[in-house]
Structure 1
């Protein structure tokens, strides 16, 4: 335990020094704007505390109507829906067995209750895949607009009752003419998570990061992965085309083309889309 604190303190000093020298500029600087092309969405998803929703039906309707001004706004302007933070009940501590750790991509406490889940992550050692649940604070459920197809929070994506398939294609032009080619393939629905939607940096240097308990689509979320170590975090992009089956039975093709703003800010997303597909 003493060694851990020594490593943590040393890491804090290194991180503080590198932050002062500008290595964190791409995390904290205000992003610059990118103009979307036809069939693109440009979203500033850099906020740690907001979800942003995309309505593919609305985008299609505006395209058919030829309302270019309204379409441009729908492609670039997204209302923020804050993650609920206010406690609706008492904090619940659930100590785990000494030495126990969980995989960030799979294990949860199985409570599946809306709220803030605090985990300790081994950010200066084995990395974020080594983590331990510490406590839970109940909150209200996440709010959402009446109509939406998928939602984004930084590198997290969820669907509105949909399911997703990752293809081997790396260009929208490579897709089969019709989504019929994918109808009999296995699509993955959203899954509950409580340690992946990180929504605060305040205690990150000590390894403690609160996350929102919510269902995510891990297949679609795989288009942008974050790794710690190193510090600052490294990001990697998966440029495969994904097929989204919406709850109404319609299909869309989605591809993350870029996750950087012109100034290097991460989680500033350029998304190619085809809907209906």
Structure 2
């Protein structure tokens, strides 16, 4: 009986390690351009979104300025190097709901579709740059007051010439989430995960699904092109091309984009 329990604990520990490493990066210095990003082309982003603790932001207008100045080196760096904005763990919640939520997930049973809220800790608001269009955290995406439409196209080249073709289509804005932005692994051995309470765009976030079971987690890529209507009225087209780097580390996002569209 004792040997069986020990085996179960060892198996559970191994599974948790697999979960914890599933989206962990191998590059520690976020300020150096990763070596496997040298082939990133104009109209592509290469984002290390492996961190559980950080968000990364892109501003399409800033990228376009590099294009207009014909600053190829600056554009390459802006498409591959992103500053980490940590998820707050302390501070006061001004709205009574911003903070970290503890959720138990039935990882070893029915999977992460079964979960229960176990606690809440208020924190300060998520920091962000003065100007941004999209933010990335593992498989989560936010917009800055924008809205998103999933299209049937699987290539930017297939898109209609003008975004006016989508006039009248239903775009979806960001929605509040308390259980999808996994931020704290400290109690994972008990199936409890700390999640950030924050708005995310669930339509755009659907471009990468992490499913448990099975174990190790199964990643599903949705290669459709998404149209983002920014709060300034402009449009961008984005497509998740890949979610791994050249070494196979998951949550390295290669994103094709067209802006302005």
Whether the TM-score (by the shorter chain) exceeds 0.5 is yes
> Are 1:15 and 1:231, in contact at CA under 8 Å, matched by a contact in 2?
no
Distance 1:271 1:194 in 2: 26
Distance 1:164 1:152 in 2: 15
Partner of 2:47: 43
Aligned pairs, number:
249
Q: 2:197 aligns with which of 206, 213, 216?
A: 213
Q: 1:30 aligns with which of 26, 29, 42?
A: 26
Q: 2:148 aligns with which of 164, 178, 185?
A: 164
Distance 2:254 2:231 in 1: 24
- Gaps in structure 1 of 5+ consecutive residues: 1-6, 90-110
- Give the structure-2-normalised TM-score: 0.89
| Pairwise CA RMSD | 2.3
> Are 2:24 and 2:50, in contact at CA under 8 Å, matched by a contact in 1?
no
> Are 2:176 and 2:199, in contact at CA under 8 Å, matched by a contact in 1?
yes
Distance 2:132 2:5 in 1: 42
Q: 1:161 to 1:19 in 2, by over 3 A?
A: closer
Distance 2:158 2:83 in 1: 32
1:134 lines up with 2:118 in the alignment:
yes
> Are 1:164 and 1:189, in contact at CA under 8 Å, matched by a contact in 2?
yes
Following superposition of structure 1 onto structure 2, how do residues 88-167 of structure 1 map, counting pairs within 5 Å? 88=92, 113-167=97-151
Q: Give 1:174 deviation, angstroms.
A: 0.5
Q: Give 1:217 deviation, angstroms.
A: 0.2
SS in 2 for 1:33: helix
Distance 1:25 1:113 in 2: 29
Partner of 2:57: 53
Q: 1:18 to 1:192 in 2, by over 3 A?
A: closer
Distance 2:140 2:168 in 1: 26
- Gaps in structure 2 of 5+ consecutive residues: 28-34
Distance 2:176 2:76 in 1: 33
Bigger drift between 33-42 and 135-144 goes to: 33-42
Distance 2:142 2:239 in 1: 15
Q: 1:251 to 1:12 in 2, by over 3 A?
A: farther
